[in-house]
Amino acid sequence: MKFEKYIYKKKIKDLPKELLPREKAIKQGLDKLSDSELLALSLGQGTKGMNVLGLSELILKDKTIKDMLSIKMEDLLKIKGIGEVKALQILSIIEIAKRMNSEEEKIEFNKPSDVFKHVKYLSKERQEKLIALYTNTSNELLGEEILAVGSLNVLRAMPRDIFFPAINLNAYGIILVHNHPNGLAQPSKEDIEFTKNIQSLALQLGFEVLDHIIVGKKDFYSFSLNNLI
């Protein structure tokens, strides 16, 4: 949205509908709104001499929504037309966003059953999949990658496909997971050889293979519980 002073001085009800955040959100979805339009929708009303669209543009001048996370009361009060009530309204929205972000549920793998719970959906897959889960030193999930899909022979999975994400995520631990569509959660000779090979390479690169979980139809097999890692 261009900064057009004559538009921002008009009353909201006098503006074309295509400029109104509420109507745009209803018609196109919230994800289609610009940062200033989102802020305007949250504020609801502008100030004397400036409608809410103009106010949101003024607040976000040379800023993005993310920049607002560090804004303070005194910064807002310097903006013409912003008093304590409006400043608190803005800061309360920011505080809600901060709390939602800080309380995001973390996934931890403290035992093999935790991993199985996370990947249990693989028990219903008709194709074999090889997945790597990456953790920090507190066993918290940092990310996961699908390494292979289809008629899987794990020996075809390239080590670089496993370790590149580990490097990018600055991970500590790697947990390998794959499923057996035939329902039997037992490792093959190839599974064991593959795991030992990846474990050896991981140690050289500074990572630790924490486990390799095989998912069957009803249960799972853990290499660590069976002393294979």
Per-residue model confidence as pLDDT tens digits over 168-213: 889 999 999 999 988 888 998 888 999 999 999 999 999 999 999 9
Q: Residue 180 has which token pair?
A: 């057996």
Q: How far apart are CA 86 and CA 73, in angstroms?
A: 10
**Mean pLDDT in residue range 28-32:** 78
Q: Residue 86 has which token pair?
A: 């409006």
How are beta strands 173-179 and 208-215 bridged, if at all?
parallel
In this structure, what DSSP letter does residue 44 have?
A: -
Residue type at position 61: K
**pLDDT value of position 28:** 80
Residues 6+ apart with CB under 8 A from 101: none
| Domain boundaries along the sequence of the chain | 5-102, 112-222
Q: How far apart are CA 137 and CA 58, in angstroms?
A: 44
**pLDDT value of position 141:** 92
> Of the candidates 215, 202, 209, which has an alpha carbon nearest to the alpha carbon of residue 133?
209
Per-residue model confidence as pLDDT tens digits over 59-79: 777 677 777 777 888 888 888
**pLDDT value of position 135:** 94
Q: Residue 135 has which token pair?
A: 């953790």
Question: In what order do the strands lie in the sheet containing 173-179?
Answer: 141-150, 128-135, 173-179, 208-215, 220-222
**Mean pLDDT across the chain:** 81
Residue type at position 163: F
Per-residue model confidence as pLDDT tens digits over 77-135: 888 778 888 888 888 888 887 777 655 568 899 999 999 999 998 888 888 889 999 99
Lowest mean pLDDT among 34-38, 49-53, 147-151, 222-226: 49-53
212 near 196, Cβ under 8 Å?
A: no
In this structure, what DSSP letter does residue 123 have?
A: G
Domain covering 112-222 in this structure, CATH number: 3.40.140.10
Furthest CA-CA distance within the chain: 77
**pLDDT value of position 172:** 94
**pLDDT value of position 36:** 74
Per-residue model confidence as pLDDT tens digits over 125-176: 888 889 999 999 999 999 888 888 876 554 467 888 899 999 988 999 999 9
Asked whether the predicted pLDDT for residue 42 surpasses 50, the reply is: yes
